[in-house]
Structure 1
Amino acid sequence: MDSNRVLGVLLGLSCGDALGRPVEFESAEQIKAEHGRLDQMIGYGTWNQPAGTTTDDTEQALCIARSLVEQGEFDPTDVADRFVAWYDSGPFDIGGMTRRSLTRLSRGSTWEEAGQEVWEASSEGMNAGNGSVMRCPPLAIPYADDWGALVEVSRQSSQITHADPRCTWGCAVLNLTIAGLLDDADAPLEEALDYVDSDAPDELTDALAPISRGESIDSLETSGYVVHSLQTALHDALYEETLEDAIVTSVNRGGDTDTIGAIAGAVAGARFGVAQLPDHWLSAIDEVDELHSLSEQLISIV
């Protein structure tokens, strides 16, 4: 397995997260008026944090990666415990479904129950956010060569907080796409969709199928809805010409910039490798050294 691409997954995710964090919730027009084309790590803005600060996207991905390394496999109970400990640390950014699920976990629900209970209590439009797809890419590394297991662990990792099938299967499709890229697949998204076939919700697969075929999309949405986030991030990650362009393009679309940037960064990182990330981005991110170490250890699990 190419260590350059593996590291690209983890650092691409964190760079997309950090670049998008200060303009989260702004429109494309607002970003353009304030920054032109945002391609530098800037401070403050949304969440009022220093340049290079990552959010819950990277922090939860780290929880999964650390657990994989320490347990030697995906252990959903251990990951859930790490999520709760992270939540108890008082993060400045956390999604609504994640917060409600982790609250239930802290009160005694099991990982199988917490996300399911929150999903069943949530109305349509509030029940299929992107909070699990943004953190799941570390799973694609140790399970890259076992697609059956990768689908299972990806869906379980989502179930902890996001039990909607669009979320659980969204994690599976995203990680299969990353695994395909790590294996030099010619059509990674198309192969991922073929693998999940009719098991995944039509709403998800119908939105991603045109991208898998290289068709143009009239409008790409940037909301926190999991289908929108995956459609936009995969479009930019698979069709921009460099890793940097994939992240910059996705972030400058506005909306849920940190998460769409993180997803695009993880996928494009698997496509191009870490060498395409600008040094001035990496030097701004505190987690870079740990992500280097984790990537090496995740490869050793394989």
Structure 2
Amino acid sequence: MSLHPSVSPRRSAIAGGLYGLLIGDAIGRCYEFKSAAELPPPEAIAMRPPCGYPATYPFVPAGTWTDDGAQALALLDSLLESGRLDLDDFGARLLAWCDEGVYTPDGQVFDIGIQTARAFSRMRAGIPAARAGDAHERANGNGALMRVLPLALWHRSDDAELVRLAIEQGRLTTATPAAA
């Protein structure tokens, strides 16, 4: 049951999933790239890290999601506007995020993974989005996994088709089988 009569259950699920992703991403931003031993105790993990904790990206305001959240928003926007997974449209939206700060809370981009930056350079050079991801065996970024939730929430066909589309959207930034 949706919260408002005019909001469909599917739309509520998509919104709820994205809110959860963005909030979790914003909380986790402070703790990115730390080992388990470096993390504060679970009860101390919050949007603002404990006093004295060496937060990742300390210059970024609390509540700001990372590249993962921004890319998920770009994917959802593309799916909703195109009505399908359109890699060129999605790629253009990712470039708008990178170059213009679209899909960020404040217009500021503060983190782009190595594989993603390389793929963006290829797209800017005219390589189609579907072939922009690096296929080298050591090009194993996880951005495709971190942004895929909107596809799972939007998709209405069988699981095999969802898996195929999830792999396809990942090709924009990482085309190795291990990253799929």
TM > 0.5 fold call: yes
Q: Deviations over 1:249-294 (max 9, x none)?
A: xxxxxxxxxxxxxxxxxxxxxxxxxxxxxxxxxxxxxxxxxxxxxx
- 1:15 aligns with 23
RMSD: 2.1
Once the two structures are superposed, the pairs formed by residues 189-268 of structure 1 within 5 Å of their partners are none
Q: Does 1:162 align with 2:180?
A: no
Residue from 75, 82, 97 that aligns with 2:115: 97
User: What residue identity is the alignment partner of 2:117?
Assistant: R
What corresponds to 1:25 in structure 2? 33
How far off is 1:81 after superposition? Answer: 0.9
The total of aligned residue pairs comes to 160
Secondary structure at 2:173 match in 1 = coil
Structure number with the higher helix fraction is 1
Give, in angstroms, the shift of residue 38 of structure 1: 3.2
Greater mean alpha carbon deviation, residues 17-26 or residues 2-11: 2-11
Return the offset for 1:75: 0.8
Is 1:39 equivalent to 2:51 in the alignment? no
Q: Relative to 1, partners in 2 of residues 1:19 and 1:167: Cα closer, same or farther, differing over 3 Å?
A: same
Matches within 5 A, 1:51-200: 51-89=62-100, 91-115=109-133, 118-120=134-136, 124=138, 127-168=139-180
Q: Unpaired segments of 5 or more residues in structure 2?
A: 1-8, 102-108
In 2, the alpha carbon distance for the partners of 1:41 and 1:94 equals: 21
AA partner of residue 154 (structure 1): A
The answer as to whether partners of 1:31 and 1:37 remain within 8 angstroms in 2 is: no
Cα distance change of structure 1 residues 2 and 96 upon mapping to structure 2, 3 Å threshold = same
Q: Unpaired segments of 5 or more residues in structure 1?
A: 169-302
In the superposition, relative to structure 1, how do residues 73 and 2 fare at CA in structure 2: closer, same or farther (>3 Å)? Answer: closer
153 and 60 in structure 1: CA distance in 2 versus 1, 3 angstrom threshold: same
Cα distance per residue 1:59-114 (max 9 Å; x no partner): 00000001111111211110011111211126201111001011110111111221
Q: Deviations over 1:204-255 (max 9, x none)?
A: xxxxxxxxxxxxxxxxxxxxxxxxxxxxxxxxxxxxxxxxxxxxxxxxxxxx
Of structures 1 and 2, the one with the larger relative CO (CA 8 A, separation 6+) is: 1
- 1:30: how far off? 2.3
1: distance between equivalents of 2:37 and 2:161?
A: 42
Relative to structure 1, is the Cα distance of residues 25 and 148 closer, same or farther in structure 2, using a 3 angstrom cutoff?
A: closer
d(CA) in 1 for partners of 2:147, 2:160? 20
SS in 1 for 2:44: coil
Aligned to 2:79, the other structure's residue is in SS state: helix
TM-score by length of 2: 0.79
Read off the aligned partner of 1:158 and give its amino acid letter. Answer: G
